[in-house]
Chain A
């Protein structure tokens, strides 16, 4: 345990040193070049904004986190579900796939103002945008994973009198898990972006709302602080998925890079 901790420190020390150097350089540059805080706030002021009691951080963080989780969860469930349907039925794949591809090409954020008009100025439009942005990689990666099974494995299961569902659940689904996890990683980062940008449009609360609001009030350190929390949310989210992957896919461990 202690050895792992030391090994971890040694491994991430260079990256941490780089971050510390960047922050120090930033602080120094702002001081030396006398850049006004409304243009680039020094890191110290951003740090103060992070703990500023006059901003209801827990509320805004919770609003954005909920939107991300809701949109992402819907994308995962419906994305995997649609991928299963596409793989199981060639007919439905022919009907649906062109529309899924079209939906991916459409710039979804362009519909955000309309969604706010339709569903009101609450969290739902943001959740929908988050869902739309995160949905596509889930479908594509899961479908690719389900299709990645060695066809001879299907023969093997059929030789044991296995049904199509046996093939799906015993073979295709587990074989697709590494693909699903790479889809989850892409989707989760997109979900953070989606929620944030949707909040820019017309939200009443949330980290994206704070960022767009600080533009009007010339409060750059507030924007940086909100972005920092957004980054932390994204990192926490990503780390959760990586942890889940390690726990679920112990057999894939030797093939995984860092």
Chain B
């Protein structure tokens, strides 16, 4: 693949995330040899773009996101990210001893910013994620979907340039999940963040994405990059549209599900 912008970034918008030839091997104990998690992944995400990485379980897509987040170091290739990142993991990872709004405020405290100045913003984000009135509840008083909304508000509070999402809705039931997809698109439209989203749900990937990056099974390699040319704003009706189902089929083909 080399260094060429093989992912077809639209126009002249500079990439906010640029991965070139990224590979990851884990040393393992025993005779099995190193675990090859990722191989030669080249991928870029443009400003304001919503890119979804989809792949089978264990293809290294979460590892890819951890590398972008700086939590793991790639063993090969280069990673460039412009600006600050906010992350949402599969589990909300809320602090049980903090109320919703205090959980949202956590990054502000860590970044040593003025708490009083950011509190109105935290409350506004709680409203944005649809939790108005729940700001003083503790996590155990919130449902799984609501907890994940708090996690999303927390990821947004320090006004990051990039939002990284690691299967954020995978632990939710399907109804909540579809609801959260819609909410994410609404929030994305309002905040215009650059989003890198990882999932193993084909439907979720096509519904959300500007572009879908299909990874192969381990070691994860970029199988295909599919530009999803569906109109926005997207609503639940889209799921019944033929073009949408065709895109889903195309992703399935690239994943090797349709022979």
Which A positions have Cβ atoms within 8 angstroms of B?
A: 150, 152-153, 155-162, 166, 170-171, 174-175, 177, 249-252, 254-255
Contacts and interface: CB of A to CB of B under 8 A. Distances in A.
Contact of B106 (A160, A175, A251): A160
Given A160-B106, A162-B110, A166-B110, A174 B85 contact: no
B1 interface: no
Contact of A251 (B107, B110, B140, B158): B140
Contacts of A157: 106, 110
Contacts of A150: 93
Interface residues of B, number: 23
Interface string B21-38: 000000000000000000
Contact of A159 (B69, B91, B98): B69
Nearest to A174: B97
Contacts of A162: 110
B89 A152 contact: yes
A59 B139 CA distance: 49
Contacts of A152: 89, 91, 93
A171 B91 contact: no
Contacts of B70: 158-159
Given A156-B87, A156-B89, A166-B110, A171 B95 contact: yes
B155 to A, nearest CB: 9
B97 A177 contact: yes
A161 B91 contact: no
Given A159-B69, A252-B96, 9 more contacts: A153-B93, A155-B66, A155-B89, A156-B87, A159-B71, A162-B110, A170-B95, A171-B95, A174-B97
B138 interface: yes
Interface of B: 66, 69-71, 85-87, 89, 91, 93, 95-98, 106-107, 109-111, 138-140, 158
A251 B93 contact: no
A170 B158 CA distance: 17
Contacts of B109: 170
Contact of B71 (A153, A155, A250, A252): A155
A13 to B, nearest CB: 32
Contact of A161 (B93, B98, B111, B140): B111
A254 B138 CA distance: 11
A251 B138 contact: yes
A160 B93 contact: no
B69 A160 contact: no
B103 to A, nearest CB: 11
A159 B106 contact: no
Given A156-B87, A159-B87, A160-B110, A174 B93 contact: no
Contacts of B91: 152
Contacts of B87: 156, 159
A160 B111 CA distance: 7
Nearest to A248: B97
Nearest to A171: B95
Contacts of B89: 152, 155-156
Nearest 10 pairs between A and B by C-beta? A160-B107, A162-B110, A160-B110, A159-B87, A251-B138, A174-B97, A251-B97, A156-B93, A159-B69, A166-B110
Contacts of A174: 95, 97
A170 B110 contact: yes
Contacts of B140: 251, 254-255
Nearest to A162: B110
A84 to B, nearest CB: 18
A177 B96 CA distance: 12
Given A160-B106, A170-B109, A251 B96 contact: yes
